Structure 1
């Protein structure tokens, strides 16, 4: 989408294959020669674009992921169509008319012009999509046989069978009605086997099995604003809609993710990006939107934003979680959600986790890491340990038989012996729980090699 006044026409083989509404209003239609297009649009700023099949394929694959929320039986047809098998899901979507309306609205929101066709076979649906110019004419006529619906369609639509169509035209057969009136034996004598097989599939004379689509563990979608904007608040609504569609895709595929990326498509120049991380895998669109809004508040756009792209490339299988039967915790915010909010507001490295490590010496048995998102489950130990451990043991003064730290210490329990590093620098310690004159419990130990005392930690 562009906000300038330049008219754009896509050209392939010296002929126009598509154009926007403004160009079409000036008399340009698909199929016109390039010279005719230039003549009709003389006096207007014009830009002729070459067709990009690779980009079209990327778009079709992205739409195929979206269409998976409608039906799992879908396929790419030729090089510019997406076909859905909807016969088994009409009841779920409220009937054919409501489903067509939904598809039209969703594709229009994504900036696509749709030509929809409905038929009992892939070939017939494709033909009807080539001849119907609006969703209202896409539905088959009630009670009309398939042959009657195909009769007025010209054979030149079958560009992949140019030789067969040319041979039929010489015999005066130019429309499907005339073709279907021919005896099958006569048709097979005039046309190739591939063409006859195509007609058999068109008329449902043979049954064709369509394999269900299995989406890749990645996701991408785009929403176009229809205008340019630098106002962050105007981007919230399309972002929310993209996340709703994304969440529906995750539920359908039973996937989750910890990371999404926003690309804000600018009219000119580079498109800013926004990365959003979560402390756990989930598919909740509201949580993703809350984190995205917090990060979006700090983002400023120097250029007009015309579209928003949502990408998730790190999808994993969803993990089942137990639910509270009596909903006693429904008003309690999960810890992971609070962590996500703090990280979105303060930065990813601002919130860290404390983890255990399989070491005997206390100063080595825990570590802090902001990158790890969950701590491994550990067996509960019946050992009394302080929550606050010093980074390294601090010396304690001794006067005679009395220990001092701030003031005199009184040992109330112990000892507990810990030994380690016998292979390099042997360590042997006797640990005690003591308390200060003010009643503060502390964790101290005596080094059995040099008989010195040290403070290891402080109890709450």
Structure 2
């Protein structure tokens, strides 16, 4: 087996969208003591907060493990494009000043032939990593625990012997051991991971319990490492809590861009698309509003989602500042992926046409864009109906009719020249009985008219023109 680990190097900051803010410190508490987990300031991670505040001016943000896990889940959906199964690795800080661990691992040995070998897979991963909302460092090793250590170091090991040679030379703290085990081993004069690996498993178990020897056996591939795989849920719900109050629509587009990329990764992991999603907004006065975004054809493209969302928000007036938003998608269909031909760009034209329709609907409303279709009614003024874009039409057989009808029939004198045989329409007995004889006629100016005689009043009416 070969495990690829995707290790976010700034998970605590980036899960809160704080990595670009100056002098921000993500803070962790243990009892009455607090330390810095990660920061954008000049101080070091792991420093006690009181000491850091004496030296630097910092904006403190409490660490949010639930936001970190949500960000890791989205990274896991991307990992499903590389292989399966996919696992989340999450560990809380082991001691004061320690950093939490969050990573995603995926088994890729079965995918090597698909990508064309290990080097091709690594190139693909490096290209796609830049598209993620997290700063990710990949690593590769034959075991899950080994892949985590390899990713933290940014290394690749395609065999257990190579990994073991490297591991034995690493500092003791490289191993993900409990605090007590690290202290005891350090106090005994051990300095490297190799020093610990030379101790018999029975001795480690007597001193530290089963946790330490089990970890080392899994690390070296001597024991199985069963873990529950993460599976995309049936619905996509991603909540984003703002660090402040967002007053403008433009300010909402920054977190939305990130969430829509995560939505695309979710859809690709499920090999599906969607035609509608909702954006729930929580305002600072605790009221809520919902923005619905609809598409004319199923898609899973984040840039397309953002384009239509931007147009939709142009019609939205925020009732108040926004403190939290939730992106929600609950109904999925097969994705509409256009297959372009080298010599025929019909699929591209259709895709462009659908994008135009979606932009117009997002800007003006879904009821503002429609086409005409035939309706099952013999009366010409009722023989048509509005059809929404993408809605299937129903074929209705009708006799030849002119395309130019007057808004209201206009009374005229009986035409001097009637053409062809009449079409009789007798319908509407349940509401307003209609009985008419329609003719094609020639007007005084030579134009071809569409006229009828009302059989009740015997009046002649002009209803349309033939082109």
The answer on whether the counterparts of 1:26 and 1:41 sit within 8 Å (CA) in structure 2 is no
Q: Cα distance 1:58–1:290, how it changes in 2: closer, same or farther (>3 A)?
A: closer
Deviation string for 1:398-427 (max 9, x for gaps)?
xxxx52xxxx464323433334444x3362
Partner of 1:361: 379
Distance 2:32 2:209 in 1: 29
Distance 1:260 1:343 in 2: 15
| Correspondent of 2:440 among 434, 439, 444 | 434
Report how far residue 42 of structure 1 moved.
Answer: 0.7
1:118 aligns with 2:140: yes
Where structure 1 has 5 or more consecutive residues not aligned to the other structure, the ranges are 223-229, 264-272, 301-308
| Larger mean Cα displacement after TM superposition, 36-45 or 439-448 | 439-448
| Larger mean Cα displacement after TM superposition, 67-76 or 147-156 | 147-156
Report how far residue 374 of structure 1 moved.
Answer: 2.3
Distance 1:332 1:115 in 2: 39
Report how far residue 89 of structure 1 moved.
Answer: 3.6
Report how far residue 73 of structure 1 moved.
Answer: 3.0
Q: Structure 1 length normalisation: TM-score?
A: 0.65
SS of 2:354's equivalent? helix
Report how far residue 396 of structure 1 moved.
Answer: 2.4
Report how far residue 102 of structure 1 moved.
Answer: 4.1
The answer on whether the counterparts of 1:280 and 1:373 sit within 8 Å (CA) in structure 2 is no
The answer on whether the counterparts of 1:8 and 1:46 sit within 8 Å (CA) in structure 2 is no
Aligned pairs (5 A) from 1:61-460: 61-78=73-90, 80-90=102-112, 91-92=115-116, 94-95=119-120, 98=123, 101-102=126-127, 105-107=130-132, 110=133, 112-114=134-136, 116-129=138-151, 132=152, 136=154, 138-140=155-157, 143-146=161-164, 149=167, 152-154=171-173, 157-159=176-178, 165=181, 177-185=194-202, 192=209, 197-208=214-225, 211=229, 213-214=231-232, 218=236, 253-258=270-275, 277-283=294-300, 315-319=332-336, 327=344, 329=346, 335-340=353-358, 342-343=360-361, 350-368=368-386, 372-379=388-395, 381=397, 383-390=399-406, 393-397=408-412, 402-403=413-414, 408=415, 410-422=417-429, 424-425=430-431, 427-435=433-441, 436-460=443-467
Q: Cα distance 1:458–1:244, how it changes in 2: closer, same or farther (>3 A)?
A: farther
TM-align CA RMSD: 5.6
Q: Cα distance 1:453–1:188, how it changes in 2: closer, same or farther (>3 A)?
A: farther
Distance 2:25 2:127 in 1: 30
SS of 1:255's equivalent? coil
Q: Cα distance 1:65–1:148, how it changes in 2: closer, same or farther (>3 A)?
A: closer
Distance 2:302 2:427 in 1: 49
Q: Count matched residues.
A: 422
Q: Cα distance 1:47–1:21, how it changes in 2: closer, same or farther (>3 A)?
A: closer
Q: Structure 2 length normalisation: TM-score?
A: 0.65
